[in-house]
Amino acid sequence: MLSTESLQKIDREIAKYPPGQRQSAVMAALAIAQEELGWLPSEAIEFVGNYLEMTPIAAYEVANFYNMYNLKPVGKHKLTVCTNLPCMLSGGVDAAEYLKSKLGIEFNETTPDGKFTLKEGECMGACGDAPVMLVDNHRMCCCMQPEQIDKLLSELE
């Protein structure tokens, strides 16, 4: 199901925890699986569960609890915009509106060319740099005024 490279990464995570606590690595393992597959089909969740000696439903509970796991396929790039109050006060909602009209999609939708999926995010702990956007979960973009958004979109392949 997963590449040896991903499995090695997961093994490295497992090693962080005391013996008999493989389950502790589930969040990391799901993130690693998602990085490889782009999203988490239920087979991947079950695979990770088995690998960590968890029942599939226990792994599924985890995958469903945390927002950053993609339980459905997403576009090539997932853009998550924080619209929480501190960001909103500094343009977070406006940035989201700007993106929606530029991409022609609403939240939780993917552009017809499959390039972008737009998500609404909760506080990312970077409110001083509002508007804040997360690109593909792992890249934070700060102070996203219209020019910066335009630039980002044109850069993303």
Partner 1 sequence: MAILGSINPLLTVGLDGDNAWRLADYVKRGGYTALRGILAEKVPPGVVVDKVKKSVLRGRGGAGFPTGLKWSFMPNYLPVEKYVVCNSDEGEPGTFKDRDILRFNPHAVIEGMVIAGYAVGASRGYNYIHGEIWEVYKRFEEALDEARAAGLIGKDIQGSGFDFELFAHHGYGAYICGEESALLNSIEGKKGQPRFKPPFPASFGLYGKPTTINNTETFASVPFVLNIGPEAYLEAGKPNNGGTKLFSVSGHVNRPGNYEVPLGTPFSTLLEMAGGVRGGRQLKACIPGGSSAPVLPAQVVMDCTMDYDSISKAGSMLGSGAVIVMDETTCMVKALERLSYFYYEESCGQCTPCREGTNWLYQIIHRIEHGLGRPDDLDLLRSVTTNIMGRTICALGDAASMPVQSFIKHFQDEFAYHIEHKKCLVPPEIQRAGSGFFKATF
Partner 2 sequence: MLDIEIDGKQVQVPAGSTIMEAAQASGTYIPHFCYHKKLSIAANCRMCMVQVEKAPKPLPACATPVTNGMKVFTHSELAIKAQKGVMEFLLINHPLDCPICDQGGECQLQDLSVGYGGGSSRYGEAKRVVFQKHVGPLISMQEMSRCIHCTRCVRFGQEIAGVMELGMAGRNMHSEIQTFVGRTIDSELSGNMIDLCPVGALTSKPFRYSARSWELSRRKSVSPHDSFGTNLTVQVKNNRVMRVLPRENEEINECWISDKDRFSYEALNSSNRLLKPMVRVDGALREVEWNVALDYVAHGLRDIVKNHGGDSIAALASPRSTLEELFLLQKLVRGSGSDNIDFRPRRRDYSSDGKLAGIPWLGMRIADIRNLESVLVVGSFLRKDHPLFSQRLRQLAKVPGNKISLLSVAGDDPLINLHQHVSVAPGELPLSIAAVLKAFVQISGLTTSVDLSDVEVSEGCRAIAESFLGSGPKAIFLGNVSEQVSCAGQLHALAQELARLSDASFGFIGEASNSVGGYLAKAVPDRGKGHNAYEMFAQPRKAYILMGIEPEFDCIDPQMAVGALKKAELVVALSTFKSNEADMYADVLLPVAPFTETSGTYVSAEGRVQSVSGVCHPAGECRPGWKVLRVLGNLLDLPGFDYESSEQVKNELLPEGSVFLEGLSNDVALDIVPLSVSRQGLERIADVPIYFADALVRNAESLQKTRDASAPVARLNPATLKDLGLAANDPVRIIQGEGSVVLNAVADDTVPRSSVRVAAAHASTAALGEMFGTISVERA
Among partner 1, ligand FES, partner 2, none, partner that 93 touches (CB below 5 to 8 angstroms by kind) = partner 1
Q: Could you say whether residue 39 binds partner 2 (CB under 8 A)?
A: no
As given in the structure block, the two tokens for residue 146 are 């219209």
DSSP 78: E
Q: Which range binds partner 1 by CB under 8 A, 2-10, 18-26, 36-44, 71-79? A: 18-26
- Using the Cα atoms of residue 106, residue 84, residue 156 and residue 74 in order, give the sign of their dihedral: negative
As given in the structure block, the two tokens for residue 77 are 């790039």
- Number of residues engaging ligand FES in binding (CB under 6 A): 12
Among candidate residues 129, 133, 136, the one with its CA nearest the CA of residue 151: 133
Partners of 120 in beta bridges: 81
Cross-sheet strand order for the sheet of 77-82: 116-121, 77-82, 133-135, 139-141
118-144: buried (b, 16+ CB within 10 Å) or exposed (e) per residue? bbbbeebebbeebbbbbbbbeeebeeb
Q: Could you say whether residue 55 binds partner 2 (CB under 8 A)?
A: yes
Nearer to ligand FES, 99 or 124 (CB): 124
Q: Could you say whether residue 127 binds ligand FES (CB under 6 A)?
A: yes
Under 8 Å between Cβ of 125 and 146? no
Nearer to ligand FES, 83 or 110 (CB): 83
Q: Could you say whether residue 148 binds partner 1 (CB under 8 A)?
A: no
Among partner 2, ligand FES, partner 1, none, partner that 26 touches (CB below 5 to 8 angstroms by kind) = partner 1
Q: Could you say whether residue 57 binds partner 1 (CB under 8 A)?
A: no
DSSP 110: B
The binding site for ligand FES (CB under 6 A) comprises: 82, 84, 86-87, 92, 123-127, 130, 132
The binding site for partner 1 (CB under 8 A) comprises: 16-18, 21-28, 30-31, 52, 54, 58, 61-62, 65-69, 83-86, 88-95, 98, 121-131, 134, 137-140, 145-146
